[in-house]
Amino acid sequence: MEQSWRWFGPQDVVRLPAIRQAGARGVVTALHDIAYGEVWTVEAIEARKALIAADPSLGLHWNVVESLPVHERIKIGEGDLTPLFDNYRASMRNLAACGIRTICYNFMPVVDWTRTELFHVLPGGGRALRFNMHEFAAFDCFMLARPGAEADFEPDVLARARAWFDAASESDKDRLLKTIMAGLPGAFGRYDIPGLKRILDRYRDITADGLHENLARFLREVVPLAEELGIRMAIHPDDPPRSLMGLPRIVSGADDIVRILSAVDEDANGLTFCVGSLGAGKHNDVPAMAARFAERTHFIHLRNVAKEPDGSFAEAEHLAGDSDMVAVVETFLREQGRRKDRGDQNWRLPFRPDHGHELLDDIGKGSFPGYSAIGRLKGLAELRGVMIAVARIHHLQI
Protein backbone atom coordinates (compact mmCIF):
# COMPACT_ATOMS: atom_id res chain seq x y z
CA MET A 1 0.00 0.00 0.00
CA GLU A 2 1.33 3.43 -0.94
CA GLN A 3 2.16 5.40 2.20
CA SER A 4 0.82 8.92 1.73
CA TRP A 5 0.42 12.14 3.69
CA ARG A 6 -2.11 14.97 3.63
CA TRP A 7 -0.38 18.29 2.94
CA PHE A 8 -2.12 21.65 2.72
CA GLY A 9 0.46 23.38 0.58
CA PRO A 10 2.79 26.25 1.36
CA GLN A 11 0.62 27.45 4.26
CA ASP A 12 0.96 24.09 6.08
CA VAL A 13 3.22 24.28 9.14
CA VAL A 14 4.20 20.66 8.42
CA ARG A 15 6.91 20.98 5.80
CA LEU A 16 7.69 18.58 3.00
CA PRO A 17 10.88 17.14 4.58
CA ALA A 18 8.77 16.02 7.55
CA ILE A 19 6.67 13.89 5.19
CA ARG A 20 9.75 11.99 4.09
CA GLN A 21 10.94 11.71 7.70
CA ALA A 22 7.59 10.10 8.56
CA GLY A 23 8.19 7.49 5.85
CA ALA A 24 5.62 8.60 3.25
CA ARG A 25 6.34 9.35 -0.39
CA GLY A 26 2.86 10.07 -1.79
CA VAL A 27 1.52 13.57 -1.15
CA VAL A 28 -2.22 14.11 -0.93
CA THR A 29 -3.06 17.76 -1.58
CA ALA A 30 -5.35 20.22 -3.31
CA LEU A 31 -5.38 23.77 -4.63
CA HIS A 32 -7.25 25.31 -1.72
CA ASP A 33 -6.73 28.85 -2.95
CA ILE A 34 -8.99 28.27 -5.98
CA ALA A 35 -12.67 28.98 -5.33
CA TYR A 36 -15.15 26.13 -5.60
CA GLY A 37 -16.42 25.74 -9.13
CA GLU A 38 -13.44 27.40 -10.81
CA VAL A 39 -11.11 25.54 -13.19
CA TRP A 40 -7.80 24.16 -11.93
CA THR A 41 -5.42 25.16 -14.71
CA VAL A 42 -2.51 23.09 -15.91
CA GLU A 43 -0.20 25.89 -14.81
CA ALA A 44 -1.54 25.85 -11.22
CA ILE A 45 -1.39 22.05 -11.03
CA GLU A 46 2.15 21.92 -12.41
CA ALA A 47 3.24 24.61 -9.95
CA ARG A 48 2.03 22.49 -7.02
CA LYS A 49 3.66 19.38 -8.50
CA ALA A 50 6.94 21.25 -8.92
CA LEU A 51 6.82 22.46 -5.34
CA ILE A 52 6.36 18.89 -4.07
CA ALA A 53 9.16 17.54 -6.29
CA ALA A 54 11.54 20.49 -5.84
CA ASP A 55 13.95 18.49 -3.68
CA PRO A 56 14.58 15.23 -5.59
CA SER A 57 16.27 13.69 -2.55
CA LEU A 58 12.88 13.53 -0.79
CA GLY A 59 11.35 11.36 -3.50
CA LEU A 60 7.89 12.90 -3.03
CA HIS A 61 5.14 13.00 -5.65
CA TRP A 62 1.53 14.21 -5.78
CA ASN A 63 -0.52 11.01 -5.96
CA VAL A 64 -4.06 11.91 -4.82
CA VAL A 65 -6.21 15.04 -5.08
CA GLU A 66 -8.10 15.72 -1.87
CA SER A 67 -10.34 17.37 -2.71
CA LEU A 68 -11.60 18.65 -6.02
CA PRO A 69 -14.67 20.23 -4.39
CA VAL A 70 -18.20 19.83 -5.66
CA HIS A 71 -19.95 23.20 -5.74
CA GLU A 72 -22.89 23.62 -3.35
CA ARG A 73 -25.23 24.42 -6.23
CA ILE A 74 -24.57 20.97 -7.70
CA LYS A 75 -25.56 19.39 -4.39
CA ILE A 76 -28.74 21.48 -4.26
CA GLY A 77 -29.44 21.05 -7.99
CA GLU A 78 -29.89 24.81 -8.26
CA GLY A 79 -29.96 26.81 -11.48
CA ASP A 80 -28.06 26.17 -14.71
CA LEU A 81 -25.32 23.73 -13.71
CA THR A 82 -23.76 23.36 -17.15
CA PRO A 83 -20.89 25.81 -16.47
CA LEU A 84 -20.07 24.09 -13.17
CA PHE A 85 -20.03 20.64 -14.76
CA ASP A 86 -17.92 21.99 -17.63
CA ASN A 87 -15.43 23.49 -15.18
CA TYR A 88 -15.23 20.30 -13.15
CA ARG A 89 -14.53 18.25 -16.27
CA ALA A 90 -11.91 20.79 -17.39
CA SER A 91 -10.14 20.39 -14.03
CA MET A 92 -10.27 16.62 -14.46
CA ARG A 93 -8.70 16.85 -17.91
CA ASN A 94 -5.98 19.13 -16.59
CA LEU A 95 -5.20 16.84 -13.66
CA ALA A 96 -4.98 13.83 -15.99
CA ALA A 97 -2.72 15.78 -18.35
CA CYS A 98 -0.42 16.36 -15.36
CA GLY A 99 -0.43 12.66 -14.44
CA ILE A 100 -2.73 12.84 -11.38
CA ARG A 101 -5.54 10.34 -11.64
CA THR A 102 -7.08 9.75 -8.19
CA ILE A 103 -9.65 12.32 -7.04
CA CYS A 104 -11.17 12.22 -3.58
CA TYR A 105 -14.33 14.32 -3.18
CA ASN A 106 -17.38 14.45 -0.93
CA PHE A 107 -21.09 15.22 -1.23
CA MET A 108 -21.77 16.43 2.32
CA PRO A 109 -24.15 19.40 2.29
CA VAL A 110 -22.88 22.70 3.76
CA VAL A 111 -20.26 21.32 6.17
CA ASP A 112 -17.55 18.70 5.78
CA TRP A 113 -16.25 16.79 8.82
CA THR A 114 -17.85 18.19 11.96
CA ARG A 115 -16.54 18.29 15.51
CA THR A 116 -17.38 20.24 18.67
CA GLU A 117 -13.84 20.14 20.10
CA LEU A 118 -10.64 20.57 18.13
CA PHE A 119 -8.26 20.28 21.10
CA HIS A 120 -9.77 17.77 23.54
CA VAL A 121 -7.11 17.10 26.17
CA LEU A 122 -6.00 13.48 26.57
CA PRO A 123 -4.20 11.80 29.50
CA GLY A 124 -0.63 13.05 29.37
CA GLY A 125 -1.58 16.30 27.68
CA GLY A 126 -2.01 15.27 24.06
CA ARG A 127 -4.98 16.75 22.18
CA ALA A 128 -7.56 15.19 19.88
CA LEU A 129 -10.64 15.98 17.81
CA ARG A 130 -13.95 15.16 19.50
CA PHE A 131 -17.69 15.29 18.77
CA ASN A 132 -19.89 15.87 21.83
CA MET A 133 -23.53 15.19 21.01
CA HIS A 134 -24.90 17.51 23.69
CA GLU A 135 -22.77 20.42 22.44
CA PHE A 136 -23.92 19.87 18.90
CA ALA A 137 -27.51 19.73 20.15
CA ALA A 138 -26.96 23.04 21.97
CA PHE A 139 -25.72 24.57 18.74
CA ASP A 140 -28.54 23.18 16.60
CA CYS A 141 -31.43 23.79 19.01
CA PHE A 142 -30.47 26.95 20.87
CA MET A 143 -27.81 28.85 18.87
CA LEU A 144 -29.05 28.09 15.36
CA ALA A 145 -32.60 27.65 16.72
CA ARG A 146 -33.52 25.43 13.80
CA PRO A 147 -37.27 24.72 13.81
CA GLY A 148 -37.95 21.14 14.88
CA ALA A 149 -34.33 20.46 15.85
CA GLU A 150 -35.28 19.09 19.28
CA ALA A 151 -36.89 16.05 17.64
CA ASP A 152 -33.47 14.91 16.38
CA PHE A 153 -32.02 14.38 19.87
CA GLU A 154 -32.72 12.12 22.84
CA PRO A 155 -34.24 13.77 25.96
CA ASP A 156 -31.11 13.29 28.09
CA VAL A 157 -28.96 14.86 25.34
CA LEU A 158 -31.35 17.81 25.14
CA ALA A 159 -31.21 18.29 28.91
CA ARG A 160 -27.41 18.40 28.86
CA ALA A 161 -27.52 20.68 25.83
CA ARG A 162 -29.76 23.15 27.66
CA ALA A 163 -27.48 23.05 30.71
CA TRP A 164 -24.44 23.70 28.50
CA PHE A 165 -26.13 26.58 26.68
CA ASP A 166 -27.38 28.23 29.87
CA ALA A 167 -23.90 28.11 31.40
CA ALA A 168 -22.00 29.07 28.22
CA SER A 169 -20.40 32.48 27.80
CA GLU A 170 -20.49 34.33 24.50
CA SER A 171 -16.90 33.25 23.90
CA ASP A 172 -17.92 29.60 24.50
CA LYS A 173 -20.67 29.95 21.91
CA ASP A 174 -18.35 31.69 19.48
CA ARG A 175 -15.77 28.92 19.93
CA LEU A 176 -18.40 26.25 19.24
CA LEU A 177 -19.58 28.00 16.08
CA LYS A 178 -16.02 28.33 14.79
CA THR A 179 -15.28 24.69 15.63
CA ILE A 180 -18.34 23.38 13.80
CA MET A 181 -17.57 25.61 10.83
CA ALA A 182 -13.89 24.59 10.80
CA GLY A 183 -14.75 21.58 8.65
CA LEU A 184 -12.13 20.43 6.26
CA PRO A 185 -8.87 22.35 6.70
CA GLY A 186 -8.40 24.55 3.69
CA ALA A 187 -12.14 24.78 2.93
CA PHE A 188 -12.90 27.92 0.95
CA GLY A 189 -15.84 29.35 2.91
CA ARG A 190 -17.26 29.56 6.43
CA TYR A 191 -20.68 30.60 7.74
CA ASP A 192 -21.89 32.75 10.60
CA ILE A 193 -25.33 32.01 12.09
CA PRO A 194 -27.29 34.19 9.61
CA GLY A 195 -25.31 32.81 6.70
CA LEU A 196 -25.85 29.26 7.89
CA LYS A 197 -29.60 29.85 8.14
CA ARG A 198 -29.62 31.15 4.57
CA ILE A 199 -27.81 28.14 3.14
CA LEU A 200 -29.99 25.74 5.14
CA ASP A 201 -33.06 27.46 3.71
CA ARG A 202 -31.79 26.68 0.22
CA TYR A 203 -31.85 22.98 1.22
CA ARG A 204 -35.33 23.11 2.78
CA ASP A 205 -36.95 21.02 0.02
CA ILE A 206 -34.04 18.58 -0.50
CA THR A 207 -34.76 15.07 0.78
CA ALA A 208 -32.26 12.23 0.98
CA ASP A 209 -33.64 10.88 -2.29
CA GLY A 210 -33.35 14.32 -3.87
CA LEU A 211 -29.75 14.71 -2.73
CA HIS A 212 -28.94 11.25 -4.04
CA GLU A 213 -30.42 12.12 -7.42
CA ASN A 214 -28.26 15.26 -7.50
CA LEU A 215 -25.24 13.10 -6.77
CA ALA A 216 -26.28 10.61 -9.45
CA ARG A 217 -26.56 13.50 -11.91
CA PHE A 218 -23.06 14.64 -10.99
CA LEU A 219 -21.76 11.11 -11.50
CA ARG A 220 -23.42 10.83 -14.90
CA GLU A 221 -21.70 14.09 -15.86
CA VAL A 222 -18.17 13.16 -14.76
CA VAL A 223 -17.71 9.38 -14.62
CA PRO A 224 -17.68 8.78 -18.39
CA LEU A 225 -14.85 11.29 -18.71
CA ALA A 226 -13.07 9.70 -15.75
CA GLU A 227 -13.24 6.33 -17.50
CA GLU A 228 -11.83 7.91 -20.66
CA LEU A 229 -8.98 9.63 -18.80
CA GLY A 230 -8.13 6.75 -16.47
CA ILE A 231 -9.19 8.79 -13.44
CA ARG A 232 -10.54 7.11 -10.32
CA MET A 233 -13.25 9.13 -8.55
CA ALA A 234 -13.40 8.28 -4.84
CA ILE A 235 -16.30 9.63 -2.79
CA HIS A 236 -15.62 10.21 0.91
CA PRO A 237 -18.20 9.02 3.48
CA ASP A 238 -20.15 11.43 5.67
CA ASP A 239 -18.36 12.48 8.86
CA PRO A 240 -20.14 11.83 11.14
CA PRO A 241 -22.44 9.40 9.30
CA ARG A 242 -25.73 10.96 10.41
CA SER A 243 -27.97 13.89 9.56
CA LEU A 244 -26.72 17.24 10.86
CA MET A 245 -28.86 20.39 11.18
CA GLY A 246 -31.68 18.58 9.41
CA LEU A 247 -29.58 18.08 6.29
CA PRO A 248 -29.73 14.73 4.51
CA ARG A 249 -26.54 12.74 4.36
CA ILE A 250 -26.33 9.96 1.82
CA VAL A 251 -22.89 8.36 2.20
CA SER A 252 -23.33 7.03 5.73
CA GLY A 253 -23.70 3.25 5.47
CA ALA A 254 -23.48 0.17 3.29
CA ASP A 255 -26.85 0.65 1.58
CA ASP A 256 -25.88 4.22 0.67
CA ILE A 257 -22.62 3.06 -0.88
CA VAL A 258 -24.33 0.34 -2.90
CA ARG A 259 -26.78 2.91 -4.26
CA ILE A 260 -23.97 5.32 -5.22
CA LEU A 261 -21.77 2.71 -6.89
CA SER A 262 -24.72 1.32 -8.85
CA ALA A 263 -25.85 4.79 -9.99
CA VAL A 264 -23.04 4.67 -12.55
CA ASP A 265 -21.68 1.15 -12.38
CA GLU A 266 -18.15 1.77 -13.62
CA ASP A 267 -14.83 1.20 -11.87
CA ALA A 268 -14.08 4.92 -12.10
CA ASN A 269 -17.02 5.55 -9.76
CA GLY A 270 -15.42 4.44 -6.52
CA LEU A 271 -14.94 5.02 -2.82
CA THR A 272 -12.56 6.63 -0.39
CA PHE A 273 -12.79 4.10 2.44
CA CYS A 274 -12.50 6.15 5.65
CA VAL A 275 -12.38 3.86 8.68
CA GLY A 276 -13.02 6.70 11.12
CA SER A 277 -15.98 8.26 9.31
CA LEU A 278 -17.77 4.95 8.85
CA GLY A 279 -16.66 3.77 12.29
CA ALA A 280 -18.45 6.68 13.99
CA GLY A 281 -21.77 5.06 13.05
CA LYS A 282 -22.92 2.29 15.36
CA HIS A 283 -24.83 0.81 12.40
CA ASN A 284 -21.61 0.14 10.46
CA ASP A 285 -19.54 -3.05 10.60
CA VAL A 286 -16.36 -1.50 9.24
CA PRO A 287 -14.28 -4.65 8.52
CA ALA A 288 -17.26 -6.22 6.74
CA MET A 289 -17.74 -3.06 4.69
CA ALA A 290 -14.05 -3.02 3.78
CA ALA A 291 -14.37 -6.55 2.43
CA ARG A 292 -17.60 -5.77 0.61
CA PHE A 293 -16.37 -2.62 -1.12
CA ALA A 294 -12.64 -3.33 -1.53
CA GLU A 295 -12.95 -3.82 -5.28
CA ARG A 296 -14.35 -0.30 -5.74
CA THR A 297 -12.08 1.40 -3.20
CA HIS A 298 -9.52 3.75 -4.76
CA PHE A 299 -8.17 5.57 -1.70
CA ILE A 300 -8.04 4.77 2.02
CA HIS A 301 -8.10 6.87 5.20
CA LEU A 302 -6.87 4.85 8.16
CA ARG A 303 -7.95 6.37 11.46
CA ASN A 304 -10.04 5.14 14.38
CA VAL A 305 -12.68 6.53 16.71
CA ALA A 306 -14.07 5.53 20.10
CA LYS A 307 -17.87 5.85 20.26
CA GLU A 308 -20.14 6.56 23.22
CA PRO A 309 -23.79 5.50 23.70
CA ASP A 310 -25.25 8.97 23.05
CA GLY A 311 -23.53 9.29 19.66
CA SER A 312 -20.50 11.23 20.86
CA PHE A 313 -17.09 10.03 19.69
CA ALA A 314 -13.43 10.96 19.86
CA GLU A 315 -10.45 10.32 17.64
CA ALA A 316 -8.64 7.31 19.09
CA GLU A 317 -5.16 6.01 18.49
CA HIS A 318 -4.99 4.39 15.09
CA LEU A 319 -4.93 0.84 16.48
CA ALA A 320 -7.00 1.43 19.62
CA GLY A 321 -10.48 2.53 18.51
CA ASP A 322 -13.68 0.58 17.93
CA SER A 323 -12.80 -0.72 14.45
CA ASP A 324 -10.51 -3.69 13.87
CA MET A 325 -7.76 -1.91 11.97
CA VAL A 326 -5.71 -5.07 11.47
CA ALA A 327 -8.62 -6.75 9.67
CA VAL A 328 -9.13 -3.67 7.48
CA VAL A 329 -5.45 -3.53 6.53
CA GLU A 330 -5.42 -7.23 5.66
CA THR A 331 -8.48 -6.77 3.41
CA PHE A 332 -6.85 -4.01 1.41
CA LEU A 333 -3.50 -5.79 1.15
CA ARG A 334 -5.35 -8.75 -0.33
CA GLU A 335 -7.26 -6.44 -2.69
CA GLN A 336 -4.15 -4.80 -4.05
CA GLY A 337 -2.62 -8.25 -4.53
CA ARG A 338 -5.68 -9.18 -6.58
CA ARG A 339 -5.19 -6.03 -8.69
CA LYS A 340 -1.52 -6.83 -9.22
CA ASP A 341 -2.33 -10.39 -10.26
CA ARG A 342 -4.81 -9.22 -12.89
CA GLY A 343 -2.19 -6.89 -14.37
CA ASP A 344 -3.36 -3.48 -13.19
CA GLN A 345 -0.63 -0.93 -13.84
CA ASN A 346 -1.54 1.11 -10.76
CA TRP A 347 -2.25 -1.79 -8.42
CA ARG A 348 -0.87 -0.28 -5.23
CA LEU A 349 -3.62 1.34 -3.11
CA PRO A 350 -2.80 4.79 -1.71
CA PHE A 351 -3.61 5.34 1.96
CA ARG A 352 -2.84 7.94 4.56
CA PRO A 353 -2.96 8.12 8.35
CA ASP A 354 -5.72 10.54 9.26
CA HIS A 355 -6.59 12.83 12.17
CA GLY A 356 -3.57 12.17 14.36
CA HIS A 357 -3.40 13.40 17.93
CA GLU A 358 -1.47 16.58 18.65
CA LEU A 359 1.50 15.33 20.66
CA LEU A 360 4.81 16.39 22.21
CA ASP A 361 6.47 19.41 20.57
CA ASP A 362 3.57 19.85 18.14
CA ILE A 363 1.21 20.99 20.91
CA GLY A 364 0.31 24.60 20.25
CA LYS A 365 2.41 24.85 17.10
CA GLY A 366 -0.55 25.94 14.99
CA SER A 367 -1.00 23.00 12.66
CA PHE A 368 -4.44 22.25 11.27
CA PRO A 369 -6.47 20.37 13.92
CA GLY A 370 -5.98 16.65 13.38
CA TYR A 371 -3.05 17.23 11.02
CA SER A 372 -0.03 17.77 13.23
CA ALA A 373 3.15 15.95 12.25
CA ILE A 374 4.02 13.81 15.27
CA GLY A 375 0.59 12.26 15.80
CA ARG A 376 0.34 11.21 12.17
CA LEU A 377 3.94 10.00 12.18
CA LYS A 378 3.04 7.79 15.15
CA GLY A 379 -0.06 6.52 13.37
CA LEU A 380 1.79 5.83 10.13
CA ALA A 381 4.52 3.95 11.97
CA GLU A 382 1.93 1.78 13.73
CA LEU A 383 0.08 1.11 10.49
CA ARG A 384 3.33 0.30 8.69
CA GLY A 385 4.11 -2.26 11.37
CA VAL A 386 0.70 -3.85 10.94
CA MET A 387 1.16 -3.99 7.16
CA ILE A 388 4.55 -5.64 7.41
CA ALA A 389 3.31 -8.23 9.91
CA VAL A 390 0.14 -9.05 7.98
CA ALA A 391 2.04 -9.23 4.69
CA ARG A 392 4.62 -11.59 6.13
CA ILE A 393 2.08 -13.89 7.79
CA HIS A 394 -0.15 -14.13 4.71
CA HIS A 395 2.57 -13.87 2.04
CA LEU A 396 1.20 -10.62 0.65
CA GLN A 397 3.04 -7.71 -0.92
CA ILE A 398 3.08 -4.33 0.78
For the segment 223-242, what is each residue's pLDDT rounded down to a tens digit?
999 999 999 999 999 999 99
Helix (H) or strand (E) holding 190: none
- Dihedral sign for Cα atoms in the order 306, 368, 243, 161: positive
- Tens of pLDDT along 282-304? 999 999 999 999 999 999 999 99
Contact 205, 77 (CB under 8 A): no
Mean pLDDT value across residues 163-189:
85
Where along the chain do its domains lie?
2-114+206-394, 130-199
Q: How far, rounded to the nearest angstrom, does the alpha carbon of residue 395 sit from its chain's CA centroid? A: 31
pTM of the entire structure?
A: 0.96
Quick one: CATH architecture of 2-114+206-394? Alpha-Beta Barrel (3.20)
Catalytic residues, by residue number, are 236, 274, 301, 354-355, 371
Contact 263, 250 (CB under 8 A): no
- Residue 195's φ and ψ, nearest 5 degrees, are -65, -40
Burial of residue 319 (CB within 10 Å: 0-12, 13-18, 19+) is: middle
How many alpha carbons fall within 13 Å on the CB side of residue 184?
A: 26
Burial of residue 267 (CB within 10 Å: 0-12, 13-18, 19+) is: middle
The one-character DSSP state at 140 is I
Helix (H) or strand (E) holding 343: none
What is the C-alpha to C-alpha distance for residues 276 and 304, in angstroms, rounded to an integer?
5
- Tens of pLDDT along 13-39? 999 999 999 999 999 999 999 999 999
What is the C-alpha to C-alpha distance for residues 130 and 367, in angstroms, rounded to an integer?
17
